[in-house]
Amino acid sequence: METRAISATVARFLLESKKLLINGEWMESSSSDLLPVMNPATGERLTYIAAGNEEDVDRAVAAARAALEKGDWKKMTPMDRSKLLWKIADLIDLHADELAELETLDNGKPISISRNGDVKASSNVFRYYAGWPTKIVGETNPVSNGNYLNYTVREPVGVVGQIIPWNYPLMMAAWKLAPALAVGATVILKPAEQTSLTAIRLGELLIEAGVPAGVVNIVTGTGKKAGAAIANHPRIDKVAFTGSTEVGRHIMQAGAVNIKRTSLELGGKSPNIIFADADLEAASLGASEGVFYNMGQDCTAGSRVFVQRQVYEQVLERIVQYAENLRVGNGLDPLTDIGPIVSEEQVERISSYVEIGLEEGATLMSGGKRVTDGVLKHGHFIQPTVFANARNDSRIAQEEIFGPFVSVIPFDDAEEVISLANDSIYGLGAGIWTRDIGRAHSMAKSIKSGMIWINSYGAVDPASPFGGYKMSGYGREMGAYAIDLYTETKTVWVKMD
Ligand code: NAP
Ligand code: MG
C-alpha cells in the first residue's frame, strides 16, 4: 500500500486517538467508543475519533449553558470578542500548511484546494466576523401609542448546535463558528464522522487563542447518536445544519420539541445556463469547473449544464475535453485535479447513477468508471463523468449525485430554459452565461435560487449571503444574515411620564 510522506506535525497529531472538547478539556466519550478515521485515497486508517453520544451532548450543553450565563465569556466586551476572532484567523493562517495537509488526508481533496480554497476561506470568515461584534446594533422605534422610548437590543440566541457535512470540513466549521462567536453565543459543534480532524485541530487553536472554557464544545460521533442528540436536546436554543435535505427534514422535526430556531443549508441541483452569444471558451471552462471542483462534492455544483442548441455540440466537446484532461490521483500529489471521493459508500452511489443514466437513455460521453489501477486501487476513485442529451425530468438531472458527474442538456430559448431550470425541488445556485446584459438580469430575476452568478460560477465571500430557495433550505449564512441567525431581538418599552 502506498504511503506518502506525512509531515512530522501531522503525524504527531494523528498518533493518539482524538477526544471530545467539552468545557475546555479534551476527554473521552462516556462510552469510550471510538470511530476509525480513514484516508479515502489509500484506505489506510489515520487515527480514531471519539464516538460521542447523548450523555456527552448533555455534558456539552451544560458547559455551553454555564458559559453563556456566567463567567468570562459573558464579561467579554465586543472589542475583546473582535480581537479574539482576529486571533483565531491569524492562528489558522499560521497553521495553514498543517491544516491543509490534514484536510487532504482526511477528506481526499487536492492539496491545492485545501490550501488555497478551504483554509484561506476559513481564516477569512473569522477575520470578516471579527469586525462585527462592535457593529451589532438595535434601533429606536417611533411608536405612536403613548409617551414611550421604545428600543431594541440584539442578544445571543443562546446555546447553539451546529451540525456540518464532510465536503468542506474546516470551512463549514468556520462558517458556523465565526458568526456565533461574534454575537456571544455558545456552541456544540458536531463535525461529520468521516472528516472530523480539522475541526478538532481548530478546537485546539480556539483554546490557544483564548476562547473561554465551554464556549465551543466539539462532540464528534455519528449523526444517528451525537447529531440526533443535538437536534433533540431541549436545552439547545438553535440548530444550524448543513447537509442533505433528508437529514434536514429530521432536524426540523426534532426541533419542534422546544421550538428550536433552525437554519438549513441543504442539497442542490444547480443549473448553469449557456446562451449562444456567450464567450463560449469562458462559459465552457466555467461550467466544467463549476461541476468538477472538489470532485463535485459541493452543494452548489452546477450539475445541470443547459446549452443553447446552436452551440450545444461545441460546448459539450469542450466540457468532455476538460473532463478527460483532469488528472485523477492522491490529493497530496500537487499534480492531482481529482482526488478520491470521500467514502466507498459515495463512490457506489455515484456509480449507480452512471447505470441509471444509461438506462434512462442519456449518452455517456466520458468517464463513469471507477479507477482501480496501480497505487489508487485501495482508494475511492471515479472518473469525471459527462452525460449528454439527458432529459431534465430524468433521475440523473433531478437527483443530487454529489460527485464529478454532469448532465449537459440542450435548450432553444430563454422561456424554455427558465422553466427547465426551475423544474427542480432545489434552488441553491444558478449560472447564466450571455453577453446580453438585459437578458442576464431578466434571467437572474426569473431563476428561483438563492445565488445567481452571471458570466462566472460559484464565487463565495463572507460579505455575500449564502443559502437556498425551496428544498435547498432556508436561512442565509454570511454577511449580516448570519448575525440574524444567531441573535434574538428584544424590544424594551420605557414609559416617559
Ligand atoms: P448528511 O448525511 O445530511 O450529514 C450532514 C451532517 O448531519 C453530518 O454531520 C451527519 O453526521 C449529520 N447527521 C446525519 N444524520 C443525522 C440525524 N439523524 N440527526 C442529526 N444529524 C445527523 O450530509 P452529508 O452526506 O454529510 O453531506 C452531503 C450533503 O450536504 C449534500 O446533500 C449537500 O448538498 C449538502 N451540503 C449543503 C451545503 C449547503 O450549504 N447548502 C453545503 C455542503 C453540503 P455523520 O455524517 O457523522 O453521520
Ligand atoms: Mg476520513
Q: How far is the CA of 119 from the centre of ligand 1 (A)?
A: 20
In the residue annotation, 265 being an active-site residue is answered as yes
The rounded distance, in Å, linking the Cα atoms of 457 and 444 is: 13
User: Ligand 1: does its nearest atom lie under 6 Å from the Cβ of 163?
Assistant: yes
Report the pLDDT value the prediction gives residue 89, as an integer from 0 to 100. Answer: 99
Helix ranges, 360-458 (H): 395-398, 414-422, 437-446
Please state, for a pLDDT cut of 90, what percent of the chain lies above it.
98
The residue assigned the cell 452525460 is 387
Atom of ligand 1 nearest to the CA of 231: 20
Q: Does residue 370's CB lie within 6 angstroms of at least one atom of ligand 1?
A: no
Q: What domains sit in the chain, N to C, each tagged with a CATH number?
A: 8-266+473-491 (3.40.605.10), 271-461 (3.40.309.10)
Cα 490 to ligand 1 centre (Å): 32
What is residue 51's predicted lDDT score, i.e. its pLDDT? 98
Residue with grid cell 463535485, as numbered in its chain: 296
The predicted structure's pLDDT at residue 2: 43
Q: Which three cell numbers stand for residue 486?
A: 444567531
pLDDT at 3: 46
Q: Is the pLDDT of residue 1 over 50?
A: no
Helix, coil or strand: residue 50? strand
Please report the beta strands in 71-123, taking only residues with DSSP state E, as ranges in sequence order.
Answer: none
225-279 pLDDT per residue, tens: 999 999 999 999 999 999 999 999 999 999 999 999 999 999 999 999 999 999 9
> What is the per-residue pLDDT across 297-307, written as a single tens digit (0 to 9) for each?
999 999 999 99
Q: What is the DSSP string of 236-283?
A: --EEEEES-HHHHHHHHHHHGGGT-EEEEE-----EEEE-TTS-HHHH
Tally of CB atoms within 10 A around 370 = 17
User: What CA–CA distances, in Å, run from 343 to 38, 115, 195, 346?
Assistant: 9, 21, 10, 5
* Average predicted confidence (pLDDT) for the chain: 97
Asked if residue 402 has its Cβ within 6 Å of ligand 1, the reply is yes
Burial (CB count within 10 angstroms: exposed 0-12, middle 13-18, buried 19+), residue 452:
middle
> What single letter denotes the amino acid at residue 119?
V
- Looking at 101, 299, 400, 477, which residue is catalytic? 299
% of the chain surpassing 70 pLDDT:
99
Q: What pLDDT is recorded for position 5?
A: 79
pTM assigned to the model: 0.97
Averaged over 10-14, what is the pLDDT? 98
Task: Indicate if ligand 1 lies below 6 Å from the C-beta of 169.
Answer: no
Q: Would residue 155 show up in a list of annotated catalytic residues for this protein?
A: no
pLDDT tens for 181-213 read 999 999 999 999 999 999 999 999 999 999 999
**Catalytic, out of 193, 265, 400, 477:** 265
Structure confidence at residue 459 (pLDDT): 98
**Element housing 339 (H / E):** none
Q: Where on the phi/psi map is residue 136: left (φ > 0), alpha (ψ -120 to 50), or beta? A: beta
